[in-house]
Amino acid sequence: MIAIIGAMDEEVLEIKKIMNNKVESSINNIEFCTGIISKTDVVLLKSGIGKVNAAICTTVLFSNFDVDKVINIGTAGGLLKEMNPLDVVVSTKVAHHDWIVKPFNWPTGFDQDKTCYSADEQLVDIVNSIVKEDTKHKVYCGPIASGDLFVSDLEDVNRILESFPGAMCAEMEACGVAQVCKHFNKPFIVIRSLSDVALNKDNGIEFDTYLQQASANSAIWCNKFIKKIEDLA
């Protein structure tokens, strides 16, 4: 069974549209929906916004469902000048950009395992194989910065890129999911569609404009990913 985790109603509803045989339930006040995408058993859950919510729901998930792998879907804010809303970012690694403990000299960047977690290499390879087959979408594969902050000003962008060079997007749940996956030894991957680009002026307005489309785009890529896993089985 594959688990799919989204933070917001918009993100989760787009996944439900491509599911069959849906059965909804609530466990510890977390909304779960089991069903089938293509030919694969899945469980979909809404974590709520933020890393703590994401960690709680992922822990409850593993305590109640027999999950083989985890896909964290949804939206994110791009960190590169050349990016545009609705581009897709797939994780190679995710790191806590707001875990700042300077007195203890904790490392930053993506080349460390203190606050950084690697996505499953086989899952990343599957996404890369899809990218080669589909030239209609701009897809970036690289590291993602995760924190309890909607990145909306240049100071935050510069701080993130200085401490985590190479970060392609920023979002608010992936590290909560990834850290729990590491604890339970479960493979994960993050597939996010950009709702905004943090370098753009008024990216909060951009977020409102593209949230629905970005959520739908994330669901499309999730569907492609699952079908590709089936083809390779």
pLDDT tens for residues 44-76?
999 999 999 999 999 999 999 999 999 999 989
Residue 99 lies in a domain: yes
- Domain interval for residue 28: 2-216
Number of structural domains (the chain) is 1
- State the pLDDT at residue 202: 63
Residue 227 lies in a domain: no
For the purposes of burial, counting CB atoms within 10 Å of the CB of 144, is it exposed (0-12), middle (13-18) or buried (19 or more)?
Answer: buried
Distances (CA, A) of 29 to 20, 25, 47, 60, 97: 23, 9, 10, 10, 28
Q: 46 lies in a domain? A: yes
Within a domain: residue 231?
A: no
Sort strands 188-197 and 69-78 into parallel, antiparallel or unpaired. parallel
Q: Among all chains, which residue has been given the structure tokens 């933070």?
A: 7
Q: Which residue is catalytic, options 14, 87, 196, 206?
A: 196
Catalytic residue among 10, 11, 98, 173: 11
pLDDT digits (tens, 9 = 90+) for 212-226: 888 888 888 899 999
pLDDT at site 216 = 87
CATH number, domain of 73, equals 3.40.50.1580
Q: What is the pLDDT of residue 135?
A: 61
19 located within any domain: yes
pTM of the model: 0.92
- The answer to whether the beta carbons of residues 163 and 97 sit under 8 Å apart is yes
Residue 223 lies in a domain: no
Catalytic residue flag (residue 11): yes
Give the span between the Cα atoms of 17 and 141, in whole angstroms.
26
The list of the chain residues with pLDDT below 70 reads: 133-137, 200-206
Domain membership of residue 233 (yes or no) is no
Has residue 224 been placed in a domain? no
Structure tokens at 168: 């392609």
Establish whether 120 is a catalytic residue. no
